[in-house]
Amino acid sequence: MCTQRCKHPLGAAGHGRMTMRQSQAETRRHNVAKRSMTKEAKQLAGLIAGLRESLEGIHKERMSAKLTGAEMGMLDERRNNLLLTIAALDDRLSAVQGLIDLGRPHIIRVH
C-alpha cells in the first residue's frame, strides 16, 4: 500500500514496467516468428531446387533411353507428381515470403 512517502498514486506502481514487459514479449515473439519463417523460406527454396533437379533428371532419362511404354508411363507419373509437389511448395513459399515482406510473420502450422 502506498503511504505519504510514495510519489505515485496507489495502484500505478509497476504499471509502466508491465507494459514494457508485454511489449518486449510481443517483440520477442515477432522476432522468433520472423526467424522461423525466414528459415522455413530457405528450406522451401532448397527443397524446390532439389525437386527441380529431379525433374531435369527425369526429363533426361525420358529422352536418352529406349523405354517401354510402361516405363515411359511411370516416368510421366513421377514427373506429374513432382510438378504438383513443386507447385504446392511454391505456393507455400510465396505465402511465407509475403508475410515476411508485410512485416506480419507468424508461425504457420501444417495439419
C-alpha cell at 41: 523460406
Q: CA 25 to CA 19: how far, in whole Å?
A: 10
Per-residue pLDDT of the chain (111 residues; tens, 9 = 90+): 455 555 555 555 555 555 668 788 888 888 888 898 999 999 999 999 999 999 999 999 988 878 888 999 999 999 999 999 999 999 999 999 998 888 887 665 555
H or E element that contains 10: none
Query: Is the entire prediction scored with pTM above 0.85?
Result: no
Instruction: Please report the beta strands in the chain, taking only residues with DSSP state E, as ranges in sequence order.
Output: none
Helix, strand, coil percentages in the chain from 3-state DSSP, rounded to 5:
75, 0, 25
Displacement of CA 59 from its chain's centroid (Å): 29
C-alpha cell at 47: 527443397
In Å, what is the CA distance from 63 to each residue of 9, 56, 57, 72, 76? 82, 11, 10, 10, 12
Residues 72-92: b if buried by 16+ CB within 10 A, e if exposed: eeebeebeeebeeebeebeeb
